[in-house]
Amino acid sequence: MLRKNLIDSLQYKNEEDNSKYKEHGKPKQKSDLPTKQFQKRRSLLVELIEDNVHVNGVYNIIISLSFFIMISLNYIEYIQFGRLSPALDLIYEKFGKLHIVFIVWLGNNLFTFLCYYCFILWAAIRQKVDHKNITDKLGVILLASYYGFTFYIIPFLINKYNLPFASSAILLGDSIRFLIKVHAFVRGNAPKVLTSRSEKEKIKLPTFGQFVDFVYIPATIYKDEYPRTDNVRWSFAFYRFMEIIWTIVCQAHIYIHIILPIYKDLTCINPITFGELFILLLKTCIPAVVLLWLLFFSLLHSSQNTVGEMLKFGDRMFYLDWWNSLDVQQFYKKWNCVIGDWLYTYVNKDLAEVVFPGRRNLAKLLTILISAIIHEWIITAALGFYCPVIFVIMIATILFLTDIFRAKSYTKNIRVFIWMIYPIGPGLIATSMFVEYFARQRLPMKANESFVFWNHCIA
């Protein structure tokens, strides 16, 4: 009876309530793809934890056990060595030079605000001149230059100031956020300018305040208005912020007390065999999965809910129930709805309806390729070396494994099988990065080379 009640409580109440989790509305024409619809709703985990006593109990158990483990590790470290866990030193090291991060981030904000005035200027000039094609081409060139400058300047500054990994990741992730916001703003408002027929026609463009609001809210699809909450629950925002701190501390302890012992013998003095490399992979799979889940909880749940609450942003559907996915494509769609919305609306939809009309498979392929390239750019620039394993795995899993694991029946067995092989993906990514990273640590004279581990450490 208890099991039945738990299952019933986790299911959506009825079809009307289930509509809260529909991402897109109906298209205007049959040939068009559906568009994103915003509505006031909570994040799925927030809803489960707040409304279901059983899920809330599991959440409390996880938090309590993680605190117990971290306190125990620090106490043991203090008794044996007279100091706290090196995990705390690791956090201080990897989040170093935050003053430089803040200055660059502030400059990135100002540069993004400048894009608004450039767009308004372009709209005003275009309405007055006769040669609108020239104005349009100059606008496209200016926008493309902004994209290219963003992809160049942030890695350049990271290398110049030798920023550590976490500080680099903050700047890289935020630079992509600013870029996709600018693209969404321009793409969402350019048709208003392009369809203007005369100089006397008044074009209603967004105010600077609307642009700034869009830049900071956790949404990537531009609208003049969004659903809003009535008030800010500061206690809710505070607890979500503390969850971010908690996940960072947990990840640092996992790295120090689990990952480092696995790779401590990787000296590159004696080359390792593929059998030994496979053992490293098996040992890394579960810690890698836990690190990935903590990253999801921090970035896609706690961070987005913190910002959304403080800015009274009502649509909190930042992710869906990816743990119930039946294939890889469905998993990626549900994992990150915020970026998925942008890719779908401004890449896939534009490619399928404007650039390559009717060729939806080609549009989907190019969308996957763009997403994989951006992910790889962030990781490469943050780590300081090229290891294209994320790119390869994203392309391979989506292209080759989607149809294999798509099932209409036997869903329970399929889910069990998927979760049995799921750790292999994060394990491959983490192992590839760790062996390359530690190889470069052991062989600093080879740091300027590519694929140091594969060239010097493998038998």
Looking up tokens 């300081």 gives 384
What residues contact residue 194 under an 8 Å CB cut-off, 6+ apart? 136
Looking up tokens 């399928």 gives 352
Query: Which two tokens mark 282?
Result: 């098996």
Q: How far apart are CA 386 and CA 301, in angstroms?
A: 29
* 54 is annotated as an active-site residue: no
Nearest to 317 by CA among 221, 242, 381: 221
Q: How far apart are CA 370 and CA 393, in angstroms?
A: 14
SS3 string, 218-279, reads: CCCCCCCCCCECCCCCHHHHHHHHHHHHHHHHHHHHHHHHHHHHHHCCCCCCCCECHHHHHH
Query: Which two tokens mark 77?
Result: 């470290």
Burial of 301 (0-12, 13-18, 19+ CB in 10 A): buried
- How many other CB atoms are there within 10 angstroms of residue 53's CB atom? 10
What residues contact residue 185 under an 8 Å CB cut-off, 6+ apart? 115, 116, 119, 206, 211, 214, 222
User: Within 13 Å, how many C-alpha atoms sit on residue 297's CB side?
Assistant: 23
Q: How far apart are CA 105 and CA 390, in angstroms?
A: 26
CA distances from 39 to 24, 50, 317, 453 (A): 11, 19, 9, 49
Residue 171: what residue type? Answer: L
Long-range contacts (CB closer than 8 Å, 24 or more residues apart) made by 163-166: 163/96, 163/97, 163/100, 163/101, 164/93, 164/94, 164/95, 164/96, 164/97, 165/94, 165/382, 165/383, 166/91, 166/94, 166/95
CA distances from 294 to 123, 172, 207, 298 (A): 44, 19, 38, 6
What residues contact residue 8 under an 8 Å CB cut-off, 6+ apart? none
Set 24, 99, 375, 456: catalytic member: 375
Which positions are catalytic? 375
